Amino acid sequence: MSFVKLTVSSIAICAIAAPAFARDNVQVAGSSTVLPYASIVAEAFGENFDFPTPVVESGGSSAGLKRFCEGVGANTIDIANASRAIREKEIATCAANGVSDIIEVRIGYDGIVFANDLNGHAFEFTQADWFLALAPKIAKDGAIIDNPNQTWADVNPAFPAQPIAAFIPGTKHGTREVFEEKVLAVGCEATGAFDAMIAAGMSEDDAEDACIAVRTDGLSTDIDGDYTETLARIDANKDGIGVFGLAFYEQNTDSLQVATMAGVVPTVESIATGQYPVSRPLYFYLKKAHIGVIPGLKDFAEFFVMDEVAGPDGPLAEYGLVSDPELEATQTMIAEEQTMGLGS
């Protein structure tokens, strides 16, 4: 009964509230990796323009793109941040809900680093080490066996006998996809497991899926929260090794030490030159239909990729973003409002 009254009164309130129509601020949601960058840009945008400061929510790339694809209108978000490219399936969902003209903006690159406690062993990893540590099944002498490795010394005799305790991003994070693709899959091929699986009669697709699978016996933990949660886990378990974004690591050098990957130390420079193997582009996606409806949307997008903001000397690079050498092309693309179908 009270619910009916509540509904009636809330609708009544909304009827009074009706004059405060269309939204006058840009609304952004998505990847928690992009969130700091987006918030830096949003704040500077609010300082430099007469528009209100845009609102930036986090929640992960997939969650952001899901909200992005819900439809067009003031009660949907204008921009989705993503730490991976949009998937075909998501484009189809978008199209089904009327979001057909999407502008894809690459803002720069981010490195994915492996770090452990400051006082722990200084690791020098290769992708193969991570595959051998985390895969549920590995290849041994050409045969596929259950992964017997319990300590890092089992994985690579050069490492100390420290129990494997990996904290990797959960599946709703874009970072996970990059981790699978650039670390596990590469390690899978390097150790010969991929060939062994094919030889054992698996189809190529199945073998690829098996390559990026992660063991479920408790040695690897999916972190669905943010990097602060990963850091807290490593604080609690000094044997833990976590997967972080480069920017996060650089803000916490007083408690973390970073491992090299394939012999390369992750830095802004080594990522920009492509030497460091585990990096990924960061994107945001923009609804063309909202340009002109939501005040300041296009200005915000243009401001985001300005040289002064996303360039190598801008505040984003200062925070840890590896700036995109092709920023100029992105700037023209936004200025001309090229959507994904036409642009690429």
The answer to whether 227 contacts other proteins (rule: CB under 8 A) is: yes
Query: For 183, what's the count of Cα atoms within 13 Å in the CB-facing half-sphere?
Result: 29
The answer to whether 110 contacts other proteins (rule: CB under 8 A) is: no
Give the residue from 165, 175, 55 showing the smallest Cα distance to 117: 165
Q: Which of 98, 170, 192, 225 binds other proteins (CB under 8 A)?
A: 225
The answer to whether 38 contacts other proteins (rule: CB under 8 A) is: yes
Kindly give the pairing relationship between strand 102-117 and strand 256-258: antiparallel
Q: Which is nearer to other proteins, 132 or 168 (CB)?
A: 168
- Only one residue has tokens 């091929």, namely 189
Q: Which of 252, 260, 275, 339 binds other proteins (CB under 8 A)?
A: 252
Give the residue from 180, 121, 179 showing the smallest Cα distance to 155: 121
State in angstroms the smallest separation of the CB of 250 from other proteins.
6
Answer positive or negative: Cα dihedral of 64, 98, 300, 104. positive
Q: Which of 100, 150, 251, 260 binds other proteins (CB under 8 A)?
A: 251
Q: Which is nearer to other proteins, 211 or 231 (CB)?
A: 231
The answer to whether 18 contacts other proteins (rule: CB under 8 A) is: yes
Q: Which is nearer to other proteins, 30 or 277 (CB)?
A: 30
β-partners of residue 243 are 114
Q: Site map for other proteins, 282-311, x if CB under 8 A?
A: --------------------------xx--
State in angstroms the smallest separation of the CB of 130 from other proteins.
23
Q: End-to-end alpha-carbon separation of the chain, Å?
A: 56
8 A C-beta contact, residue 242 and residue 255: no
Rg over alpha carbons for the chain, rounded to the nearest Å, is 23
Q: Which of 80, 102, 165, 247 binds other proteins (CB under 8 A)?
A: 247
Q: What DSSP state is assigned to residue 54?
A: P
Phi, psi of 96 (to 5 degrees): -65, -30
Binding site for other proteins (CB under 8 A): 1-2, 5-6, 9-11, 13-14, 17-23, 25, 27, 29, 32, 35-40, 42-44, 46-48, 52-53, 55-58, 70-71, 73-75, 77, 225-228, 247-248, 250-254, 308-309, 313-315, 318-319
